[in-house]
């Protein structure tokens, strides 16, 4: 996990906790901003995580296809 991913995940969780606290203290309208920041951070974290997984599978597939081409040449 990279530093940016850790910051995104931890800020998403922290803003969710702040939103829950504001929900108990005030109304949902006053806590809405915290929930939206939390959702945005967690969605972006998930996007970055899936993008890294896709890049790793693409590299693995390209290396497997190179190995198949080398085997066919022999």
- How confident is the model over 35-68, as pLDDT tens digits? 999 999 999 999 999 988 777 787 777 776 666 6
Q: Give the per-residue pLDDT at 65.
A: 67
Domain ranges, residue 11: 3-73
Q: Give the per-residue pLDDT at 53.
A: 79
Cα(15)–Cα(37) distance, rounded to whole angstroms?
7
pTM score of the predicted model: 0.73
Contact 12, 45 (CB under 8 A): yes
Q: Which residues neighbour 6 within 8 Å (Cβ) at sequence distance 6 or greater? A: none
Query: How many domains would you assign to the chain?
Result: 1
Q: Give the per-residue pLDDT at 70.
A: 63
């Amino acid at each position: 996990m990279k530093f940016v991913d850790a910051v995104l995940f931890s800020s998403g969780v922290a803003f969710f906790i702040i939103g829950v606290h504001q929900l108990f203290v005030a109304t949902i309208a006053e806590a809405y901003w915290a929930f939206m920041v939390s959702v945005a951070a967690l969605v972006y974290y998930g996007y970055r995580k899936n993008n890294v997984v896709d890049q790793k599978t693409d590299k693995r597939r390209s290396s497997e296809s190179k190995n198949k081409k080398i085997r066919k040449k022999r």
